[in-house]
Structure 1
Amino acid sequence: MLPVENRLRRREDFATAMRRGRRAGRPHLVVHLSGGTDPHSVGEPASPPRAGFVVSKAVGNAVVRNRVLRRLRHLIRDRVAGLPAGSLVVVRALPGAGDAAFDQLARDLDAALERLLGGVRP
């Protein structure tokens, strides 16, 4: 399970990451990353990186969507420590994610994060 401090919950945070952040697409998912630098929080400690997930009905029925969501949560949990402090990450599953194997989702997530972070592996 993803720790509470690393969960993206508010709609505004999802919108910020998806509209203002950078995007990297892979065959089974799209990753949005917003730098998270807040000019209003000068002198305050940086917040931890937070991640959220979007798994629509296009991925499959409820069982398939929940399986994809659990897999993505497990994958991002191991990678959240390598993300910049204060960053917002939204992982959006594409319709093929329901049929993808766990290791394929892991490769897609790693490739997208590597591209967004400029070659630095999380």
Structure 2
Amino acid sequence: MSNQLVNAADVVRCSPRIREPLTPEEARDLAAVFKALADPVRLQLLSLIAGHDGGEACVCDISPAVDVSQPTISHHLKVLRDAGLLVSQRRASWVYYRVVPDALHTVAASLLPQTSDAAS
């Protein structure tokens, strides 16, 4: 058997790679988003907000639908906001939350194979 070094470019792969893998920084940022989504209450809150007209809802609209206290809801909404999945706006005495569509598209795109321009 020979002790020759193998050039990485000469290695045959079982299937060709069609996109570059995540960089360590991208993986770290994306992991924070997945961590925010990994809680059932947060997923339910995000779904409730996304299910309202315009992807926006007042805390008063979503609170009755989840079986946790108001401080817990506020904590979960803050986690979703910090992950970039929601934005909020105070209107009088209520806070309205809106889903950030680009954030959801980024999460989905990170998991889907990249399509070629010819297939589009």
> TM range, normalised to the smaller chain?
under 0.3
Higher strand share: 1
TM-score by length of 2: 0.24
TM-score by length of 1: 0.24
Q: Which has the larger radius of gyration?
A: 2
Higher helix share: 2
